[in-house]
Chains A and B, each alone.
Chain A
Amino acid sequence: MMTQTKSKGRRLVILFGILIALGLCGFGVYWQFSSDAEMPVISMAAERIPIPLPLPGFDEGPPNTLPTAILTAIVLVLVGLLYSRARRRAARTGEQSRFLVAVDAIFEAVYSFAENVAGEHTRHFFPLAATFFFFILVANWTGLLPGFGSFGIWELHDGEPELIPLFRGANADLSTTLALALISVIAVQYFGLRFQGLPYLRKFFNFSAPPDSGSLRPVIAIANGAAGLLEIISEVSKVFSFAFRLFGNIFAGEVLLIVVSFLAAFVATIPFMGLELFVGLIQALVFAMLSLVFYTMATHHH
């Protein structure tokens, strides 16, 4: 009897919830057609925040991805500091806090994943790859918080008022992703030199031919030289593909969310928010894993 009333009450709550959601949907659609709500201008480059403070290096004001990037860094540094404090406390009292156990569990999962990909050299690659993973993950997910892209300053632009958002997902700016990609590809060269020594450079500048090749020797030497040139182009295009994949995915996600929220308000964006959470995780995972794959490939000679 008790359970029956309980389930009835729950059913009523669900029904009310659906009704409220539908009402909000209808209100959103009504509001859109009754007011002249305009779609915001979608800008591919990060907008500049118009602040009167003269900052060195930012003549037109800092880009609106900068606060997000700093926020992400602060969050990660804070977690690190809290973790080291919790670790010290655990060493003193012998009692592990929930926070410590949670961070340990996440790190163990990421480490075992990295070990699965990188094998014996995981110890050397893990700090950088995990930093990529956590930075990109936190930056992607903070970009989905309410207020991002919608909270800003109205500014006259070519005579028309335009909203300059104060926050924008850090990876929705090509500068951030290009910086990450440059660090990753330079690290590939570093690990190659560290584990193979100078012979690593033979990948790029190789004009040798096997001694038993006879009269074909110059041809093979030229072919090897051309292959080295291709290797150089391949390293440079790695930077671009890293940067453009991450930027494209995250920026497309932001545009998708804006468009959907202006097609049908309130509830319709929720599944797309879920999709963006998933895309943010997958892109962070892919970036870190590809870095690991390239580091592993750079360690052994081909």
Chain B
Amino acid sequence: MGEDAVMSEQKQSGTAGSVRDTVWVLGVGSQAGVMLAAPVLLGLLAGYFLDKLLGTLPLFTLVFVLIGMIGGPIIVYRMVTRAVKSHLEQGKDDDANQV
């Protein structure tokens, strides 16, 4: 009887964990996807604004878009590695709590 209760409890926390993991993957994945594109758009906006201000039309737009294109993947890499690290640490804490 006691064993059954423990089993069902483990099963329950397992489903909760898998729901958490699914939503985590959905969230971080979609976040990473948009964060790849956002710096390019930001660079475009900032560069265009500067160019309009200074009257040097293609210069800053091109430079900022290039920076965005290079920076985007780096930002995504840093964000995802950190998120995975903290996610794994969290999972470890949960396991420790269960034992």
Q: Do residues B24 and A233 form an inter-chain contact, with CB atoms below 8 A?
A: no
Q: Which residues of A contact B72 (CB under 8 A)?
A: 237
Q: Which residues of A contact B68 (CB under 8 A)?
A: 233
Nearest chain B residue, comparing its CB with the CB of A300: B86
Q: How large is the interface on B (under 10, 10 to 19, 20 to 34, 35 or more residues)?
A: 20 to 34
Interface residues of A in 234-278 (CB under 8 A from B): 234, 236-238, 240-242, 244-245
Q: Which residues of B contact A233 (CB under 8 A)?
A: 39, 42, 68, 71, 75
Q: Do residues A237 and B75 form an inter-chain contact, with CB atoms below 8 A?
A: yes
Q: Mark B16-42, 1 if CB is under 8 A from A, else 0.
A: 110110011011101100110011011
> When A117-B20, A119-B90, A233-B71 are in contact, do A244 and B34 touch as well, CB less than 8 Å?
yes
The complex places the Cα of A210 from the Cα of B93 at a distance, in Å, of 32
Q: Do residues A245 and B42 form an inter-chain contact, with CB atoms below 8 A?
A: no
Nearest chain B residue, comparing its CB with the CB of A237: B38
Q: In the complex, what's the smallest C-beta–C-beta distance from A204 to chain B, in angstroms? A: 13
Nearest chain B residue, comparing its CB with the CB of A240: B38
Q: Do residues B16 and A112 form an inter-chain contact, with CB atoms below 8 A?
A: yes
Q: In the complex, what's the smallest C-beta–C-beta distance from B46 to chain A, in angstroms? A: 10
The complex places the Cα of A241 from the Cα of B27 at a distance, in Å, of 11
> When A119-B90, A119-B93, A244-B34 are in contact, do A237 and B39 touch as well, CB less than 8 Å?
yes
Q: Which of A119, A285, A293, A302 makes the CB contact (< 8 A) with B28?
A: A293
Q: Which residues of A contact B20 (CB under 8 A)?
A: 113, 116-117, 289
Q: Do residues B83 and A241 form an inter-chain contact, with CB atoms below 8 A?
A: no
Q: Which residues of B contact A236 (CB under 8 A)?
A: 38, 42
Nearest chain B residue, comparing its CB with the CB of A248: B34
**Chain B interface mostly helix, strand, loop or mixed?**
helix
Interface assignment of B79: CB less than 8 Å from any CB of chain A: yes
> When A234-B78, A244-B34, A296-B86 are in contact, do A286 and B27 touch as well, CB less than 8 Å?
yes
Q: Which residues of B contact A241 (CB under 8 A)?
A: 31, 34-35, 38
Q: Which residues of A contact B75 (CB under 8 A)?
A: 230, 233-234, 237
Interface assignment of B59: CB less than 8 Å from any CB of chain A: no
Q: Which of B24, B26, B35 makes the CB contact (< 8 A) with A234?
A: B35
Interface assignment of B74: CB less than 8 Å from any CB of chain A: yes
Q: Which residues of B contact A128 (CB under 8 A)?
A: none
Q: Which residues of A contact B24 (CB under 8 A)?
A: 117, 289, 293
The complex places the Cα of A242 from the Cα of B86 at a distance, in Å, of 20
> When A286-B30, A289-B24 are in contact, do A230 and B16 touch as well, CB less than 8 Å?
no
Q: Do residues A238 and B83 form an inter-chain contact, with CB atoms below 8 A?
A: no
Q: Which residues of B contact A78 (CB under 8 A)?
A: none
Interface assignment of B94: CB less than 8 Å from any CB of chain A: yes
Q: Which residues of A contact B27 (CB under 8 A)?
A: 286, 289-290, 293
Q: Which residues of B contact A230 (CB under 8 A)?
A: 71, 74-75, 78
The complex places the Cα of A120 from the Cα of B71 at a distance, in Å, of 33
Interface assignment of B11: CB less than 8 Å from any CB of chain A: no
Q: Mark B46-63, 1 if CB is under 8 A from A, else 0.
A: 000000000000000000
Nearest chain B residue, comparing its CB with the CB of A112: B16
Q: Which residues of B contact A237 (CB under 8 A)?
A: 34-35, 38-39, 42, 72, 75
Q: In the complex, what's the smallest C-beta–C-beta distance from B8 to chain A, in angstroms? A: 16
The 4 closest A-B pairs by CB, nearest first: A237-B38, A241-B34, A286-B27, A234-B75
A236-B42, A297-B86 given; name 10 further pairs at CB < 8 Å.
A112-B16, A113-B16, A113-B19, A117-B20, A119-B90, A230-B71, A234-B75, A237-B35, A240-B38, A241-B34
Return 10 A-B CB contacts under 8 Å, by A number.
Answer: A113-B16, A117-B20, A230-B74, A233-B71, A234-B75, A237-B38, A240-B38, A240-B42, A245-B34, A289-B27
